[in-house]
Amino acid sequence: MSAQDTPAPVFEVVHLAKNFGGLRVTNDVSLSLRPGDRMALIGPNGAGKTTFVNLVTGALKADAGEVRLNGESVNRLDPIGRVRRGLVRSFQVTRLFLEMTPAEHVALAVLQRTGRSGRMFGNFRAMPDVMEEVEEQLVALGLHDLMHRKVREIAYGQQRLLEIAIALALKPRVLLLDEPAAGVPQSDTGRIEQALAGLPASLAVLMIEHDMDLVFRFAKRVVVLAAGAVIFDGLPADVARDDRVREAYLGSYAHAGHAA
């Protein structure tokens, strides 16, 4: 692909900075994603990963720098405004309503996206377009047989899959996944990986993750944060060879050669 054929970034962070008191927790961070990118953001505890995500999603206001979607600044937009522009986040800890069903969760996302959230639960099953999307998302995530069960009745791994289904129902152009396998039993992590592999090819995905095996299987590019600053941005095959990364984060994992 020539330079002129390379798609423009759909998501850009430019010189982002945030201080809490005298402590700089986000230190001049810049990165970008193009359609179809699969990036993992890693770093030690306290590196500033959660603060970074809160800044780019609008949950926190940056002290300096800019967040752009499709080339336009979204600094003045709140989190809902950024979702409407195509930036969607899933959370490290599931935030589902235990008494609602998977079908209701996904239907609510579809209705919110299409400006019909005021016409919620009594009517959505009578809306063919909504039900078609609900079934499509739940089939894709292996949840169709559970679509009318209450969330409290389904396994935690399936709840994490439902979070991805909800996010996809919002039709994101950029998806931020905050530890999608956190808390999921090892026996169910394969389902999460299958879901990640099945994400739309045009979707730009940034995943925060501590499971390095998952990082190396998922990511085409790895960014490492330490003390709020980017210390590495490159290929997964190179990250464990970087001296600064070894010192800051990977330790024995790097020396074990898992990234080879």
Confirm whether 126 is domain-assigned: no
pTM: 0.88
Would residue 102 count as lying in a domain? no
In a domain, 153, yes or no: no
pLDDT at position 120, please? 58
- pLDDT for 158 equals 92
Q: What is the DSSP string of 23-72?
A: EEEEEEEEEEE-TT-EEEEE--TTSSHHHHHHHHHTSS--SEEEEEETTE
In CATH, what number is assigned to the domain containing residue 206? 3.40.50.300
Contact by Cβ (8 Å): 58, 49: no
21: alpha, beta or left? (left if phi > 0; alpha if psi -120 to 50): left
Residue 249 has a pLDDT of 65
pLDDT for the residue 71: 95
User: Are the C-beta atoms of residues 53 and 176 closer than 8 Å to each other?
Assistant: yes
DSSP-derived secondary structure for 72-140? EE-TT--HHHHHHTTEEEE-SS----TTS-HHHHHHHHHHHHTT-GGG-TTTGGG-HHHHHHHHHHHHH
Report if residue 55 sits inside a domain.
Answer: yes
Examine residue 155 and state whether it is found in any structural domain, yes or no: no
Cα angle 92-93-95, degrees, rounded to a multiple of 5: 120
Structural domain count of the chain: 1
Q: Is residue 48 part of a domain?
A: yes
User: Which residues fall within 8 angstroms of residue 91, CB to CB, at 6 or more apart?
Assistant: 163, 178
Q: Strand 38-42: give its sheet, edge to edge.
A: 87-90, 174-178, 204-208, 38-42, 221-226, 229-234
Report yes or no on 101 lying in a domain.
Answer: no
In sign, the C-alpha dihedral spanning 185, 96, 161, 10 is negative
pLDDT tens across the length of the chain (260 residues) = 555 578 899 999 999 999 998 888 999 999 999 999 999 999 988 889 989 999 999 999 999 999 999 999 999 999 989 999 999 998 655 679 999 999 999 998 998 888 876 665 557 877 889 999 999 999 999 999 999 999 999 999 999 999 999 999 999 999 999 888 888 888 888 888 999 999 999 999 999 988 888 899 999 999 999 989 999 999 999 988 888 888 876 554 544 444 43
- Spatial distance between the Cα atoms of 34 and 89, rounded to a whole number of angstroms: 17
Domain range for 68 is 3-93+175-255
pLDDT value, residue 252: 45
39 beta partners: 206, 221
Look at residue 103 and tell me if it is in a domain. Answer: no
- The residue type at 219: A
Please tell me the predicted confidence (pLDDT) of residue 104. Answer: 92
